[in-house]
């Protein structure tokens, strides 16, 4: 049975990520009452190198899950929008609830599950702490496009949306408000959200009003922003040799601005993948871009480089490490068309390049000044 199995007032069985109730509630848009159930002769495995599982037929196995009743046409439509976007369709199957057999709708991938390269056995308890909050944030963004874009078009940006969800989770933490206005409930009101462009990155446009300093609300205005995700930069520094490793690569931003020299001298940089911490991302990028295994990472700053037009947020680090003459070279992930050259330069030359303007990207300039301020302390230590 295919999509015709999606009906109102019928049990639905979830055993993968949607077994996480906050995620299912984000998809349906309301609180959910669920009861335990299980599916015989099936098991869940991680899809290799991905953040979600796949349901596999396996004699003798047992997939634990929950039963939920779709109470409205909207429930059915929202489930179909979310699951259908990823190529899943509903199939009527017999599941077990206590000792009774219940016919329920189970979502299966339209492509054969055996085509997925599987990893180890998947468990909700293992997935939740690493990905649960990120998936919930992603689902809220995903369902904001319900009725606006086709589900496959939304799901095509799943990895980017999940990375953005992870950014939302990090952004939700406590932030100091000693001087600036402390935002409260109702201080920002969004009347409309549009997404005129969405591929690897996205552009969003909002009709918004905000609390003015006299206590009134501003007139409704339209604002647009570049939607990236959180990223890291890390500058490796050898305090014994008093030198750093910087990387040299082509950057589209300077080229599109009209800069005749679009290759940039930078600190190692890259986005934070779903399920990663900023420190983990910095260490991974150091291996990919410079072949360096880093241990001691010192935080420089966490900041919005261009808050007037971009949601991107950066975590910058200095890494204390050994930088022998062999540390320079050409690196990069081939599958991402990266072509990155590493340069070993003295601290004095680093500061000279900042002064001349040859280093002209904000994270590297900021990190260089931090290193200048802390260099004597680091060398003595």
**Alpha-carbon span 231 to 213, nearest angstrom:** 32
Query: Is position 73 annotated as part of the catalytic site?
Result: no
Cβ neighbours of residue 159 under 8 Å, at least 6 residues apart?
Answer: 274
Neighbours of 167 (CB within 10 A): 23
Using the 8-state DSSP alphabet, how is residue 130 labeled? I
Q: What H or E segment, with its residue span, contains residue 83?
A: helix 73-85
- Catalytic option among 31, 125, 334, 336: 336
Q: Are 68 and 12 contacting, i.e. CB atoms less than 8 angstroms apart? A: yes
Residues in a beta bridge with 373: none
Total length of the chain: 381
**Alpha-carbon span 303 to 283, nearest angstrom:** 19
Phi, psi angles (nearest 5°) of residue 374: -110, 0
For residue 19, is it left (φ>0), alpha (ψ between -120 and 50) or beta?
alpha
Catalytic residues: 336
């Amino acid at each position: 049975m295919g999509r015709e199995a999606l009906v109102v007032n019928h049990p639905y069985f979830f055993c993968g990520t949607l077994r996480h109730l906050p995620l299912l509630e984000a998809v349906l848009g309301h609180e959910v009452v669920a009861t335990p159930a299980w599916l015989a002769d099936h098991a869940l495995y991680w899809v290799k190198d991905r953040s979600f599982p796949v349901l596999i037929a396996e004699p003798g196995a047992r997939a634990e899950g929950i039963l939920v009743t779709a109470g409205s046409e909207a429930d059915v439509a929202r489930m179909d929008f979310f699951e259908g976007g990823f190529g899943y369709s509903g199939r009527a199957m017999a599941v077990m609830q206590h000792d009774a057999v219940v016919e329920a709708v189970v979502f299966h991938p339209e492509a054969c599950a055996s085509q997925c390269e599987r990893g180890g056995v998947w468990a909700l308890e293992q997935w939740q702490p690493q990905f649960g909050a990120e998936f919930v944030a992603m689902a809220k963004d995903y369902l904001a496009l319900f009725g606006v874009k086709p589900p496959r078009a939304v799901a095509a940006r799943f990895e980017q949306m999940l990375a953005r969800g992870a950014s939302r989770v990090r952004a939700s933490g406590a932030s100091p408000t000693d001087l600036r206005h402390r935002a409260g409930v109702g201080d920002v009101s969004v009347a409309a959200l549009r997404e005129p462009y969405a591929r690897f990155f996205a552009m969003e446009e909002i009709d918004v009003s905000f609390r003015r300093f006299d206590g009134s609300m501003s007139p409704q205005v339209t604002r647009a922003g570049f939607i990236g995700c959180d990223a890291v930069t890390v500058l490796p520094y050898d305090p014994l040799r008093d030198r750093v490793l910087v990387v040299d690569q082509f950057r589209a931003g300077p080229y599109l601005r009209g800069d005749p020299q679009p290759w940039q001298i930078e600190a190692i940089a890259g986005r934070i993948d779903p399920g990663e911490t900023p420190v983990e991302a910095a260490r991974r990028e150091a291996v990919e871009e410079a072949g360096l295994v880093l241990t001691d990472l010192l935080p420089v700053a966490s900041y919005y480089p261009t808050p007037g037009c971009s949601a991107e947020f950066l975590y910058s680090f200095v890494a204390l490490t050994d930088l022998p003459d062999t540390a320079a070279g050409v690196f990069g992930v081939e599958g991402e068309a990266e072509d990155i050259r590493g340069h070993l330069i003295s601290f004095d030359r680093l500061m000279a390049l900042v002064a001349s303007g040859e280093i002209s990207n904000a994270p590297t300039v900021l990190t260089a000044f931090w290193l200048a301020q802390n260099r004597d302390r680091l060398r003595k230590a």
